[in-house]
Amino acid sequence: MRNAALWLDKRFGLEEHTIAHYAWVIVAIAGVVQMVGAAIRMAFGVLVYPLVEAFGWSPGSIGFAYALMSIVTALSSPMAGYLGNRFGARRTMITGTGLFFIGMMWTSQTKEIWELYVAYGIIFGVSQALLLVPVVPAVASWFRRHLGLGTGIMMVSWSLGPALVVQALAVLFATVGWSQAFVIVGVVGTGTLMIILLFFRNTPEEAGKIAYGTHRTDNPLITSGKVFISTQKEFQSYVYKTNAFWNLINIHFLGCVGHAVILVGIIPLGISKGLGPLTAAGVLTTISVVSVATRFAAPVLSERISAKSVMFFSFFGQGVGVFLLLTANSTLDFYIFAVVWAIPYGGEGTAFPVMIRKYFGHTPMGTTYGWQLLGAGLGMALGGLIPGMVFDITGGYTWAIVLSAAFSIAGAGAIVLLENTRQQLIPNWPEMEQKSTELLETATVDLKRAESHNTSGD
């Protein structure tokens, strides 16, 4: 039994893992930040009807607030990433939490449409970027190795968050009204964020710990001081000179257009084919739930096998899979589509941090990731426009499906042109020349604990 367990540990590299590490606390915090930060964004659809009823605004003018928020979030993402690198993710996220509170409170008191645009479109849009962009690079800095595993666990919250929160918000809107619901979510969300950010540390060194996956022979990485700032600028200038930097923005943009068309258009398309509103909404929920598996698996596989291959098959599958909708006419057809398409869709966006690590090593990835989210955000905004526009013109969704496929397959083509991920494109991020005695002792204690944890028990 013991030998079998040891063999399994060795075969799958499990002996390198331990649950007793602060990196998992950081991953859990990142998951909650993403859930709280993205909740109101995802639940915007629930807000439209109460606002139409209360103020008589048109759904189109209310929808513009959502489009404005998406674009503002996208445009502020590179700056949010830079701020996370420069001042630390924690400080940046605390600022984002402050803006989240202001945005939520102001939105709850909105009387004029321009107030909705400012409070929800601009203030809330900026807060989204400050909360959601720096958290991913911060998690990355906690993983010297096995970033795929950390990213995969964190990315699961992208699916679970909306699935849980949207239902809760719908109930809240129905029971206390939209205005009170915003006040409650604003207060509870801000309180939750402030409490969990107390436990957040930007880097392992700041917490006096070592990064997950650090080997005895590894020197600690430079994470603070003047040289950290200056080296970061220098390394980032090299990052800008690589094809991969620009192409990854392009790929994220194309992939997001591809799936935004489906995510926005699937419910009206289902209803136009005779599905009831609840059944059609169930298709979207099925996509969210099934995609959890590949959101987790894609970064893990990207790290273990080839990141390019995993991303290629995800994009290609996302593109080809939408053609199932061309012949979908029954509830069963739509649910088969939801299950089949969710698999590549889930893997489409979650491997980017692993890709960045492979190309640019341990260089702080805030700015690079922020630029990629600029592409992603603009892609989501554009993809969201396509179904409605195509329906207005043609009275159907066929062209929207074709465009979705074209954008995703173009993304797959762009992935083929990426550099080989086996070769790092810029030099290694500098390490400290001499190990800190304290850090070395901590590392030794952690490694011994991990070893005893893995070898104990039959």
Partner 1 sequence: MKIAAPNQPTEVASPSLEGFEIMRRPFVGFGLLMSSVIGTLVVLIYFGAWASSNRIENRAYAAGTTESQIDGEWWEDGLVFVCPLH
Q: In this chain, which of 226, 332, 423, 458 binds partner 1, going by CB under 8 A? A: 226
How many other C-beta atoms lie within 10 A of the C-beta of residue 443?
A: 21
The answer to whether residue 458 forms part of the interface with partner 1 (CB under 8 A) is: no
Q: CA–CA separation, 263 vs 223, rounded Å?
A: 39
The answer to whether residue 207 forms part of the interface with partner 1 (CB under 8 A) is: yes
Q: In this chain, which of 340, 436, 447, 454 binds partner 1, going by CB under 8 A? A: 436
The answer to whether residue 439 forms part of the interface with partner 1 (CB under 8 A) is: yes
In DSSP terms, which residues pair with 221 in a beta bridge? 431
Q: In this chain, which of 180, 243, 398, 444 binds partner 1, going by CB under 8 A? A: 243
Q: Which residues contact 326 (CB under 8 A, 6 or more apart)?
A: 398, 401
The answer to whether residue 222 forms part of the interface with partner 1 (CB under 8 A) is: yes
How many other C-beta atoms lie within 10 A of the C-beta of residue 428?
A: 12
The answer to whether residue 220 forms part of the interface with partner 1 (CB under 8 A) is: yes
Min dist CB 205 to partner 1, Å, is 3
Based on CB atoms, which residue is closest to partner 1, 104 or 254? 254
Q: In this chain, which of 73, 214, 223, 350 binds partner 1, going by CB under 8 A? A: 223
Min dist CB 151 to partner 1, Å, is 23
Based on CB atoms, which residue is closest to partner 1, 204 or 282? 204
How many other C-beta atoms lie within 10 A of the C-beta of residue 91?
A: 16
Provide φ and ψ at 431, rounded to 5°. Answer: -105, 160
How many other C-beta atoms lie within 10 A of the C-beta of residue 312?
A: 18
The answer to whether residue 168 forms part of the interface with partner 1 (CB under 8 A) is: no
The answer to whether residue 442 forms part of the interface with partner 1 (CB under 8 A) is: no
Q: In this chain, which of 234, 276, 330, 455 binds partner 1, going by CB under 8 A? A: 234
Q: In this chain, which of 432, 448, 449, 455 binds partner 1, going by CB under 8 A? A: 432
The answer to whether residue 428 forms part of the interface with partner 1 (CB under 8 A) is: yes
Q: In this chain, which of 130, 185, 257, 287 binds partner 1, going by CB under 8 A? A: 257
The answer to whether residue 225 forms part of the interface with partner 1 (CB under 8 A) is: yes
Q: CA–CA separation, 77 vs 132, rounded Å?
A: 9
Q: In this chain, which of 245, 312, 341, 352 binds partner 1, going by CB under 8 A? A: 245
Based on CB atoms, which residue is closest to partner 1, 141 or 314? 141
Min dist CB 29 to partner 1, Å, is 15
Q: In this chain, which of 54, 188, 417, 445 binds partner 1, going by CB under 8 A? A: 417
Q: CA–CA separation, 155 vs 401, rounded Å?
A: 26
The site that binds partner 1 (CB under 8 A) totals a number of residues, namely 55
Q: Which residues contact 129 (CB under 8 A, 6 or more apart)?
A: 72, 73, 74, 76, 77, 79, 80, 96, 370, 373
Near partner 1 by CB under 8 A, which window of 113-121, 161-169, 270-278, 382-390?
A: 382-390
Min dist CB 298 to partner 1, Å, is 22
The set of long-range contacts for 302-309, using a CB threshold of 8 Å and a minimum separation of 24, is: 302/148, 302/351, 302/354, 302/355, 303/146, 303/147, 303/148, 303/149, 303/354, 304/148, 306/421, 307/351, 307/354, 307/355, 307/358, 307/421, 308/415, 308/416, 308/418, 308/420, 308/421
Residue 144 amino acid letter: R
The answer to whether residue 426 forms part of the interface with partner 1 (CB under 8 A) is: yes
Question: What is the four-CA torsion angle of 246, 249, 250, 255, rounded to 10 degrees?
Answer: 160
Q: CA–CA separation, 35 vs 24, rounded Å?
A: 16
Min dist CB 394 to partner 1, Å, is 9
Q: Which residues contact 214 (CB under 8 A, 6 or more apart)?
A: 144, 145, 220, 443
**Contact footprint for partner 1 (CB under 8 A):** 198, 203, 205-208, 220, 222-228, 231, 234-235, 238, 240-247, 249-250, 253-254, 257, 375, 382, 386, 389-390, 392-393, 399, 403, 410, 414, 417, 426-430, 432-436, 438-439
